[in-house]
């Protein structure tokens, strides 16, 4: 069942966009350090995901949990529920995060990194609040948080800081003061491991096209659309969501076919049509490409780390159908998943923080970074996450 938590994570008398920042508060009141981790501190890694239903009976409670406070009509939730029912009511995302967690555990063991690995979710079991209590009970003193979203924005970065703050505020029975301190790992869209995983997937997708289409197929990167207002405040100076995604897409393409054009488009938008979101939508872009005479397209979902429902349904079903209607050859590249380079990247990000380096964006985010003022009463998951 949905976890009912409506805690105020901002101290009395402080605005959410004022210092001390979430990063500082989650780290026990001090900024994430540039010094090596203290010797003997009991540490862990938490893989923090979005969550998803594990069976048909979970689907509607999960969607109600995600959208609570947004006033989404039940009819709309029933429509979305049908997407999950095509997969037996089971979201692929939980199995994928279990697989990633297991792969990271093996990577740590092989590299001699003595850290336990936990997995928790924002919107479904295992809830991050419960996992935080478990880590406290296990004697963990400090947690490195790996989010399953590698880019700036409220839903892609700041909300993960909020998840940690909420977890530290809710379950303190065995851990007075909020339990372990924590620091979120930095943005990783330009990390060589993420780039390699996506580049190899793009190369395989291109190779699957008929030979006479490979050199001319349009390369299209996709990411979760977000409201224009959210995009405008992403990162310390705004606009970082699009900028980071464009850089990541460029690095991936240049690793496969240097200098070739790449488009960045958006998918999976929700919310009322009256609210502007990032455009163009992937299906609209496919129509524009066909009208311009393009014969083939390769989509690579650079904004996602696994093949969950928004990738498999929105791209493999809806976008593929659009391309077929337009007479375009279509192929979709895989996501990073448990690619060895991506798994090694997680270890490298942890080792970067433990070894003593200046914290990068995503770890020591300024107080106002990605802050979106929301109406009173909205709760967890009130905007979709590109996770």
Contact 43, 353 (CB under 8 A): no
Residue (of 35, 33, 51) closest to 181 by Cα position: 33
Any binding-site annotation on 160?
yes
290-341 residue pLDDT tens: 999 999 999 999 999 999 999 999 999 999 999 999 999 999 999 999 999 9
The chain-wide mean pLDDT, for the chain, equals 91
Closest residue by Cα to residue 339 from 160, 202, 153, 156? 202
pLDDT digits (tens, 9 = 90+) for 30-59: 999 999 999 999 999 999 999 999 999 999
Contact 296, 329 (CB under 8 A): yes
Q: How far is CA 60 from CA 25, 51, 68, 84, 307, in A?
A: 34, 13, 12, 10, 21
pLDDT tens digit string along 224-262?
999 999 999 999 999 999 999 999 999 999 999 999 999
What tokens does 56 get? 């048909």
Structure tokens, 36: 């090596």
Q: Is 83 annotated as a binding residue?
A: no
Categorize the per-residue pLDDT at 171 as very low, low, confident or very high, splitting at 50, 70 and 90: low
Would you state the pLDDT for residue 377? Answer: 34
What domains does the chain contain, in order, with CATH numbers?
12-187+339-354 (3.40.50.1400), 192-332 (3.40.50.1400)
pTM of this structure: 0.93
pLDDT single digits (tens) 281-303: 999 999 999 999 999 999 999 99
For residue 147, what pLDDT is reported?
A: 98
Residue 342 is encoded by which pair of tokens?
A: 């991506």
């Amino acid at each position: 069942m949905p976890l009912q938590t409506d805690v105020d994570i901002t101290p009395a008398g402080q605005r959410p966009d004022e210092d001390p920042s979430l990063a500082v508060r989650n780290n026990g009141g001090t900024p994430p350090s540039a010094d090596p981790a203290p010797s003997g501190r009991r540490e862990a890694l938490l893989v923090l995901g979005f969550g998803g239903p594990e069976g048909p009976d979970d689907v509607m409670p999960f969607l109600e949990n995600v959208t609570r406070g947004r006033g989404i009509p039940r009819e709309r939730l029933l429509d979305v529920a049908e997407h999950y029912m095509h997969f037996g009511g089971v979201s692929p995302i939980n199995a994928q995060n279990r697989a990633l967690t297991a792969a990271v555990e093996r990577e740590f063991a092989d590299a001699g990194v003595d850290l336990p690995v936990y997995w928790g979710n924002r919107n479904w079991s295992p809830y991050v609040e419960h996992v935080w209590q478990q880590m406290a009970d296990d004697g963990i003193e400090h947690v490195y948080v790996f989010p399953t979203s590698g880019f700036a924005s409220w839903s892609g970065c700041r909300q993960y800081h909020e998840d940690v703050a909420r977890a530290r505020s809710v379950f303190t029975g065995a851990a007075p003061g909020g339990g372990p301190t924590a620091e979120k790992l930095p943005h990783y869209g330009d990390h060589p491991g993420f780039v390699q995983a996506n580049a190899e997937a793009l190369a395989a997708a291109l190779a699957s096209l008929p030979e006479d289409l490979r050199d001319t197929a349009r390369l299209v990167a996709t990411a979760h659309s977000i409201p224009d207002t959210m995009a405008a405040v992403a990162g310390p100076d705004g606009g970082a969501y699009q900028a980071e995604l464009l850089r990541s897409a460029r690095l991936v393409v240049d690793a496969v076919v240097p200098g070739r054009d790449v488009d960045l488009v958006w998918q999976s938008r929700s919310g009322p049509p009256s609210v502007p979101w990032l455009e163009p939508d992937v299906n609209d872009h496919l129509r524009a490409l066909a009208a311009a005479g393009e014969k083939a397209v390769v989509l690579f979902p650079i904004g996602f780390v696994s093949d969950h429902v928004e990738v498999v349904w929105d791209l493999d079903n809806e976008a593929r159908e659009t391309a077929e209607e337009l007479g375009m050859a279509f192929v979709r590249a895989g996501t990073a998943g448990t690619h060895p380079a991506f798994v090694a990247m997680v270890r490298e990000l942890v080792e970067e923080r433990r070894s003593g380096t200046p914290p990068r964006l995503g770890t020591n985010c300024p107080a106002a970074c990605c802050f979106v003022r929301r109406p009173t009463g909205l709760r967890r998951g009130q905007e979709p996450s590109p996770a």
